[in-house]
Amino acid sequence: MTILNGFSVDLEDWFQGLTSTNPQIDRWPTLESRVVLATQTLLAILRTHHVQATFFVLGYVADQYPKLIEQICADGHELGVHGYYHRFVHQLTPDEFTRELEQGIAAVERIIGERPIGHRAPYFSINASTPWAFDCMQKLGLRYDSSVFPTRNLLYGFPGAPRFPYQVEGQSLLEMPVSTLRLGNKILPMVGGFYTRALPYRFTRWAIRQLNQQGHPVITYIHPWELDTGQHYNQVTPRERLTHYHGRQALTAKLHKLFTDFRFTSLDVLFRNFRPNPN
Ligand SMILES: [Zn+2]
C-alpha cells in the first residue's frame, strides 16, 4: 500500500519570515510584498500533480490578500492557522499566544466561513518551555498542531519530543511533528524548507522511503518565498542569505520529483486517519 504523506505550506511574505525584519511590523507596508506571486507559482505545481496540501496562513496575510486565500480554498487545499504576526511562541505569554491564535483564526474564518482545525507555530517555536501552548490551542477549538521539530537547528527545535504523530498528554489535540530521521543515536532533520533545498534530492527520496517502509507518513513543509527566484533581497544577514537563498533555483524541479515519486495530501486527512499505536 502506498503511504499518504503530509504536505504543508507556511503562508507568509518573505519579510515576515526573516527574523531581522519580522519584529519591524511598522516597516512591513513599505517592503515589497511578493507572497501572491510566489503562492501562485506553488499552486500551479500542486495543481499539476493533483496534490491537496495544508496552507497554514498568517492572519496578517489573510487580511491583506483575501482573494488569494479564496483561491487556495477553491483549489481544494486545507486552510490552517500560522499566528497573526509570526511571533516566536516561546517569547509570548499564554495570553499573548491566545491573542495571536484568535486573530489568526478569525482572519481565516472571515474569508472561508469555516474555522480552521490545524495550527503551525511560526519558526516551529513550540518546545519544552511552552507546555501551555497545547491547552491554548485546544480551548480555541483547534484539533491538531504541527509545530514540533524533534531535533535542534540554528533557530528552533524540540529535542527529545516524540518523532511521530501523538496525542498530547491530557488533551484531545493531536501533534504531528515534522519528520526526522534516526541515524544511530542521532535524530536529524530530513525534509522541509531549508533541508529540501540544501540536501540532494537522492537523499530526500532515500529518507522518505526509510520512513514509509516503517509505515510512517512523512510530514514536510515549504514557504512560498522559497520558490521566488525573482527576488533580490537588499538587506539580509549572512545567516539569512543561507537560510533564505540557498538552493532556491533547484527547488521547483525537486518538488516535481517529490510529487512524482510519492503521494502527498493535506494534514487534516492524516489527522482523520490517525489511529493511536496500541503500544
Ligand atoms: Zn512561518
Question: Ligand 1 centre from 192 Cα, in Å?
Answer: 12
Closest CA relative to residue 12, chosen from 55, 73, 54, 72: 55
The three grid cell numbers given for residue 151, joined into one nine-digit string:
531535533
Question: Ligand 1 centre from 90 Cα, in Å?
Answer: 14
pLDDT per position as a tens digit, 218-262: 999 999 999 998 887 666 777 887 787 788 889 999 999 999 999
Length of the chain (residues): 279
How far apart are alpha carbons 81 and 217 in whole angstroms? 22
Closest CA relative to residue 45, chosen from 232, 224, 275, 249: 224
Residue in the block written with cell 511552552: 130
Question: Ligand 1 centre from 184 Cα, in Å?
Answer: 31
Residue 1 has pLDDT above 70, yes or no: no
pLDDT the model gives residue 204: 96
Question: Ligand 1 centre from 16 Cα, in Å?
Answer: 7
Question: Ligand 1 centre from 278 Cα, in Å?
Answer: 34
Residue 279 has pLDDT above 60, yes or no: no
Burial class of residue 133 (count of CB atoms within 10 Å of its CB; 0-12, 13-18, 19+): buried
Greatest Cα pair distance, the chain, in angstroms, is 54
Question: Ligand 1 centre from 109 Cα, in Å?
Answer: 19
What is each CA distance from 226 to 13, 195, 252, in whole angstroms?
10, 11, 9
Question: Ligand 1 centre from 1 Cα, in Å?
Answer: 33
As a whole number, mean pLDDT of residues 30-41 equals 95
Residue 166 has pLDDT above 80, yes or no: yes
pLDDT the model gives residue 159: 82
As a whole number, mean pLDDT of residues 104-116 equals 97
Please tell me which residue, 194 or 145, carries the higher pLDDT value. Answer: 145
Are β-strands 186-189 and 180-183 bridged in parallel, bridged antiparallel, or unpaired? antiparallel
pLDDT the model gives residue 240: 82
Question: Ligand 1 centre from 56 Cα, in Å?
Answer: 8
How many Cβ atoms are within 10 Å of 180's Cβ, its own excluded? Answer: 26
pLDDT the model gives residue 28: 95
Residue 154 has pLDDT above 70, yes or no: no
For the ranges 97-111, 143-157, 180-194, 219-233, which has the lowest average pLDDT? Answer: 143-157
Residue 93 has pLDDT above 70, yes or no: yes
Question: Ligand 1 centre from 256 Cα, in Å?
Answer: 23
Q: What is the DSSP letter of 22?
A: T
Question: Ligand 1 centre from 33 Cα, in Å?
Answer: 15
As a whole number, mean pLDDT of residues 80-95 equals 97
Residue in the block written with cell 519591524: 24
DSSP 210-265: HHHHTTPPPEEEE-GGGG-TT---SS--HHHIIIIITTHHHHHHHHHHHHHHSEEE
Do the beta carbons of residue 39 and residue 236 sit within 8 Å?
no
Residue 153 has pLDDT above 80, yes or no: no
Question: Ligand 1 centre from 167 Cα, in Å?
Answer: 23
Domains defined for the chain, CATH in brackets: 4-273 (3.20.20.370)
As a whole number, mean pLDDT of residues 20-49 equals 95
Question: Ligand 1 centre from 10 Cα, in Å?
Answer: 5
61-74: burial string, b at 16+ Cβ within 10 Å, e else: bbbbbeebbeebbe
pLDDT the model gives residue 78: 98
The percent of residues above 90 in pLDDT, for the chain, comes to 79
Question: Taking all residues of the chain, what is their mean pLDDT, rounded to a whole number?
Answer: 93
Question: Ligand 1 centre from 17 Cα, in Å?
Answer: 5
Question: Ligand 1 centre from 222 Cα, in Å?
Answer: 9
Question: Ligand 1 centre from 226 Cα, in Å?
Answer: 12
In single-letter form, the type of residue at position 162 comes to P
The percent of residues above 70 in pLDDT, for the chain, comes to 97
Question: Ligand 1 centre from 45 Cα, in Å?
Answer: 20
Question: Ligand 1 centre from 239 Cα, in Å?
Answer: 17
